[in-house]
Amino acid sequence: MKAPHPLAPELRAVSLRDLAGLLLALLLVAGPHALRMPWWLTLLTLGLYGWRAQLALGRAALPSRWLLLAVAALSLAAVYFEYRTLFGRTPGIVLLVLFSGLKLLEMRTHRDGAVVAFLCYFLIMTNLLYTQSIPTAALMCAALLAVTCTLVGFAAPQRPLRANLRTAGLLLAHALPAALALFLLFPRVQGPLWGMPQDAYSGVTGLSDTMSPGNLSQLAQSDAVAFRAEFQGATPAPRQRYWRGPVLWDFDGRTWSMGQNWIERFEPPRGEGRFAYVVTLEVHNRIWLFALETAASLPERARLTNDGMIVSASPVRSRMRYAVESVADAQIGLRERRGELERALALPEGGNPRARALAAQWRRGARDDTEVLQRAVDFFRGAGLAYTLEPPLLGREPVDEFLFDTRAGFCEHFSSAFVFMLRAAGVPARVVTGYQGGEVNTVDRIITVRQADAHAWAEAYLPGRGWIRLDPTAAAIPGRIESGLARAVRQGEPVPLLLRPELEWLRSVRYNWEALAHRWNVMVLGYNPERQRDLMSSLGMRDADWRSLTAAMASTLGVFTLLLLAWSLRRLARPDPVQRAWQAFCRKLGARGVARAPHEGPRDYAERAARRLPASASAIQAISALYVGARYGRAASREQIVELQRRVRALHLA
């Protein structure tokens, strides 16, 4: 009959300190989820945590299995009540959070504690599904330290917390080289291994393929970054920063939509002023990519549609980086098809009679399309239209109501009404959506474009000149283009915090932070198969496939493990200063024929040596006494060690 194993985790009870460590880790990893969960589910989770803490503090017994099953059933019902399903990403994560509380309530031994610790790892991972920003990473690092420290606490329950924390930090520090090697060398594959849950990209914001009154102004209240562009050489002036997105052709009286388009052979346009830049595009779950008007080259594996939209092969579901060039003042669509021009004149039957009447009046008084255009622009300039993030609701005649009654709107109202008017006057026109502007970071010269910069403008077709850009918003509100959204809208409107001009003092802090965030996005989060291939070839590994990468990974890991082992043994091999001084002393005596016998203790040896070498007897005795004090007494003080070393050095045997 063997005695129970005292190190077996299933036999060691969880202490109050262990519980505190796990609770701290859980609060760190479940905290961000709590902000996304309905408040009452958050409260339920906190209730479970608090219940466990109270039981531990009162040294009370844990609830029975039946009670726990009842609470588990209640939690399931609560999640189902909230989400009407138990599957999918969000309900799954909420269940995981609730389950952590339930597991705490049945946690008795270190084995259960380890299960909770591993659950924390999963919760860290689920946080990363929502955001992988630097603050999230920092929070998760703190959680990782707490979990590791708790695991160390399981292994060494008697050890002070500080020592365990130091060990946990040391372990994580030692993990970093191997983690870095694995991160760089682990073969990356593109795309998911299996289907994503339906709601995987539910939180993604961005332009859509339709535009109706109100949806751009909604988007414009978001601080979220749409993309960033790093320019080699000159950056474009604010009025040149039109980032082209979906082109909308079809109007049903209220909503503009893309309709049909097709891929065309790419012919680089000619124009003045060339810009070369790299765009880091955030996830938007759509296939289009953004580039300055007008793109003169295409990113790898991207195509161009007939209406000048750049599309990638699949929806952008991970942060994407592409290089592209653009030229300013290019002529496009010089040979537009007749069918497309007819499509660019189509309007729904009836409606908006006042706008149509005005358009007919322009047409009658104009000799050609150019003059119609001029009148339209003049009208928008002089109509006293106001620019607002909170446009009044429009009824059944949106163009008429906007132009003649409410006279306040956002860029979607301006562009929609402008294109409507041109079409009504017989000039082919279409709506172009995208982003206008963006902010230059003075630290790294990178232009950051946010959702708040979402914009819609117009293109009209003139024979012999092709499609030309006209921005009715800029015509009506010149400040929108030159100085951005925040100065263009009326005071007191809810402009995103980061775009407000009055917070100048925050600017340099913010620029530095954003430069860092951009580097983080590019270097860490943007590490994809292409970048891995580039890095490997710059390291001299041509055509790195998964086999060579795995081999490199395995050998690097082996080397790291050996180095770590060598490090720990090297530290062992070197005796402490007290021991070193004593060995030097023994060598000196040994040279005089008084070698220490293996069995001889320091006192006996010193006595024998003192008898043999009476001239140095007192020095020998003093060293022996110092050594015994430093070695076997309480922890040796610095002075004791120095004194011992000094005396050993000073010992001269006759």
Partner 1 sequence: MMRALLANSRLRNWFYGYSPPERGTVVLGHRRVYIVPTRLGWIYAATLGVLLVGSINYALQLGFVLTFVLAGTGIAGMVHTTRNLARLAVSAGRAEPVFAGEAARFRLLLDNRARYDRPALLVRHAGSGAQVVLDLAAGALGEAVLAVPAQQRGWMPLGRVMFETRFPLGLFRAWSYVEPDARCLVYPRPERTPLPAPAAAAAAGASRAQAQGSDDFSGLRAYQLSDSPRHVAWKAAARSGDMLTKQFSGAAGVELWLDWSQLPGALEPEQRLSRLAGWVLAAEQAGAAYGLRLPGLELSPGRGEPHRSACLQALALHPGA
Q: Which residue spans within 187-269 are E strands per DSSP?
A: 210-211, 225-232, 242-248, 250-251, 256-257, 263-264
The nearer residue to partner 1, 74 or 170, going by C-beta atoms, is 170
Question: What is the spatial order of strands in the sheet that 320-328 belongs to?
Answer: 320-328, 272-281, 225-232, 446-450, 439-440
What is the spatial distance between Cα 456 and Cα 420, in angstroms, rounded to a whole number? 14
Least Å distance, CB 172 to partner 1, is 6
Integer distance in angstroms from the first to the last C-alpha of the chain?
Answer: 63
Tell me which of 110, 455, 518, 586 is the catalytic residue.
455
Tell me which of 284, 411, 413, 453 is the catalytic residue.
411
What is the spatial distance between Cα 422 and Cα 468, in angstroms, rounded to a whole number? 13
Least Å distance, CB 315 to partner 1, is 13
Residue of 485, 480, 363 whose CA lies nearest to 423: 363
The nearer residue to partner 1, 87 or 122, going by C-beta atoms, is 122
> Does 455 participate in catalysis according to the annotation?
yes
Cis-peptide, bond into residue 388, ω within 30° of zero? no
Question: What does the longest C-alpha to C-alpha distance in the chain come to?
Answer: 130
Least Å distance, CB 174 to partner 1, is 4
Helices (H), 493-576: 507-520, 529-538, 546-573
H or E stretch including 96? helix 89-105
The nearer residue to partner 1, 94 or 458, going by C-beta atoms, is 94
The nearer residue to partner 1, 140 or 211, going by C-beta atoms, is 140
> Does 149 participate in catalysis according to the annotation?
no
The nearer residue to partner 1, 135 or 348, going by C-beta atoms, is 135
Least Å distance, CB 560 to partner 1, is 7
CB 193 within 8 A of CB 417: no
- Find tokens 């751009």 and name the residue: 216
Tell me which of 18, 400, 453, 471 is the catalytic residue.
471
* Residue 315 neighbours by CB distance under 10 Å: 13
The nearer residue to partner 1, 329 or 576, going by C-beta atoms, is 576
Least Å distance, CB 570 to partner 1, is 11
Least Å distance, CB 521 to partner 1, is 10
Least Å distance, CB 42 to partner 1, is 24
> Does 411 participate in catalysis according to the annotation?
yes
What is the spatial distance between Cα 290 and Cα 282, in angstroms, rounded to a whole number? 11
Question: Alpha carbon of 434 to those of 41, 190, 551: distances in Å?
Answer: 39, 27, 45
The partner residues of 459 in beta bridges, in order of sequence, read: 430, 469
Q: What are phi and psi of 281, to 5 degrees?
A: -95, 130
Amino acid sitting at position 415: S
The nearer residue to partner 1, 135 or 590, going by C-beta atoms, is 135
The partner residues of 467 in beta bridges, in order of sequence, read: 332, 461
The nearer residue to partner 1, 111 or 363, going by C-beta atoms, is 111
Least Å distance, CB 514 to partner 1, is 19
What is the spatial distance between Cα 112 and Cα 68, in angstroms, rounded to a whole number? 15
Least Å distance, CB 34 to partner 1, is 20
Question: Alpha carbon of 81 to those of 76, 84, 497: distances in Å?
Answer: 8, 6, 35
The nearer residue to partner 1, 9 or 31, going by C-beta atoms, is 9
Q: Which residue spans within 287-343 are E strands per DSSP?
A: 288-289, 291-292, 303-305, 310-311, 320-328
Helix (H, G, I), strand (E, B) or coil at 229: strand
Give me the active site residues, please: 411, 455, 471
